[in-house]
Amino acid sequence: MKSKNYDVLSELKEIKKKENILKKELDYVKDKEREILVKLNKGKINEKNLERRAYKNIMHFTFSDFAQTTIGACVFSFAPFLDTDPWNFIPFVNLKLLVYIHIFFIFCVFIAINYKFRTNFKFDWWFIKLLLKRLFYTYFSVFMVMILILVLINKLAYELVLVDVIKNFLTVQTIGLFGAVTFSFLKKD
Amino acid sequence: MVKIKKHTSYDKDTGERYLDRFNIDFIRYFKPTNFLFSILGCLIGFLILVKTPGLFENFLMLDINTLYLISFCGAFIWFIFTWIITGLSANSFKKGARLAGRRGLFPFSIMFVFSLIALFLTNLINGGMLFYLFLKEMMITMIFISIFVVSIDYGVSAILKLKR
């Protein structure tokens, strides 16, 4: 009887030992799980912060944005100053074609500005509204510069016909927009 | 002692709050109602300009330099006026200039686009005309229209805001 009791007790001890080991392993796994969860949460918070930063940046069209836009437009529209060749064939280009190219470029600029602030093209009405506002500011900034440049190179003269003036404007404005967007990708910090 | 009531303005788009000395929401924000008021002002102004016999022709007699002067002075005076209001309310003339300039940009763009479309539709301008004449007609239309746009857009929206 005694020997039987002894066997049962020793088995119980062994089971308890195994149970303790299992408990320790379980605790270790739980700790690891907690660590992984914390890391995941941190990643999510970082992603959210990045999104928020992008949204904050688009809200205000600051003076540095304006400067980048105008300088970009000036640099890219410098070619018409140096080269007189384009001005010779612009009067022969169809006005409709120029309008279509201009609209296409505006669309491209819209997409480019979107990717300047975020990494996707999800439809978010609030964001699209701010994006359109920024596009308007960019377009207007380039417009001011281009009018000045056209007056300087005598392509916006009183004696010109309206169709020619529109053609000149559309050509230079398209180039200016391209320059403005390219320069707006330069980092401020 | 008189206690000055301050006005808290909330921007729905950006989620930012501004503490103004008095209510300048009608200058701070350009809402769809402002857009409609601007269009209405453009429509009324253009109809009066075109339908009144001899009015447009009388304006056309003016020298282009006079038109430049009128438009520049008008825009400058209006900017200074709104700048003083926004500057006093926002307690910073730097912020005030930004607000006044930004607010004026939208009605100006609407007037520009509206004048261009309306003049084309009424056949007062066409592709074959001289740029000089086009510029003159555009300036006349914009100067005349601006009287109505400014009074309806700014005035009516301000009255509506204050009544609320």
- Reference A145, options A99, A80, A58, A51; nearest CA is A80
Burial B149-164 (b: 16+ CB within 10 A, else e): bbebbbebbbeebeee
Angle made by CA atoms A114, A120, A121, in degrees to the nearest 5: 60
Burial of A73: CB neighbours in 10 Å, binned 0-12, 13-18, 19+: buried
Nearest CB neighbour to B13, from listed A126, A160, A165: A126
**How far off is chain B from A158, nearest CA to CA, in Å?**
4
d(CA B44, CA B123): 18
CB contact under 8 A, A158 and B132: yes
Chain B environment of A59 (Cβ under 8 Å): 13-14, 16
Average pLDDT, chain B: 88
Tell me whether B54 touches chain A (CB under 8 Å). no
CB contact under 8 A, A161 and B127: yes
CB contact under 8 A, A130 and B126: no
Q: What is the pLDDT of residue B153?
A: 87
3-state SS string for chain A: CHHHHHHHHHHHHHHHHHHHHHHHHHHHHHHHHHHHHHHHHHHHHHHHHHHHHHHHHHHCCCHHHHHHHHHHHHHHCCHHHHCCHHHHHHHHCCHHHHHHHHHHHHHHHHHHHHHHHCCCCCCCHHHHHHHHHHHHHHHHHHHHHHHHHHHHCCCCCCCCEHHHHHHHHHHHHHHHHHHHHHHHCCCCC
Q: What is the pLDDT along chain A (189 residues), one digit of tens a residue?
A: 566 677 888 888 889 989 989 999 999 998 888 888 888 877 776 666 666 666 667 777 888 888 888 998 888 887 766 777 778 888 888 999 999 999 999 999 999 888 888 777 777 788 888 888 889 999 999 999 999 988 888 888 899 999 999 999 998 999 899 888 888 777 655
Over residues B31-87, the pLDDT tens digits come to 888 899 999 999 999 999 999 988 999 999 999 999 999 999 999 999 999 999 999
Nearest CB neighbour to B128, from listed A95, A129, A163: A163
The DSSP H or E segment spanning B149 is helix B131-150
- Reference A167, options B127, B116, B112; nearest CA is B127
Over residues B135-145, the pLDDT tens digits come to 999 999 999 99
Tell me whether B32 touches chain A (CB under 8 Å). no
Token digits of residue A35 = 């660590």
**How far off is chain B from A67, nearest CA to CA, in Å?**
15
Chain B environment of A157 (Cβ under 8 Å): 131
pTM above 0.90, yes or no: no
Q: Is the pLDDT of residue B3 over 90?
A: no
CB contact under 8 A, A165 and B126: no
CB contact under 8 A, A130 and B13: yes
CB contact under 8 A, A140 and B125: no
Chain A environment of B125 (Cβ under 8 Å): 162
Share of chain B above pLDDT 90, in %: 49
Query: Three-class SS of residue B136?
Result: helix
Token digits of residue B160 = 């509506």
**How far off is chain B from A24, nearest CA to CA, in Å?**
50
Please report how the helices A2-59 and A95-117 are oriented relative to each other, as an axis angle in degrees rounded to 10: 140
Chain A environment of B129 (Cβ under 8 Å): 161-162
**By the 8 A CB rule, do A170 and A98 touch?**
yes
- Reference B108, options A38, A143, A1, A48; nearest CA is A143
Chain B environment of A140 (Cβ under 8 Å): 105, 109
Task: Determine the average pLDDT of the residues in B104-115.
Answer: 92
Q: What is the pLDDT of residue B2?
A: 55
CB pairs under 8 A between A and B: 40
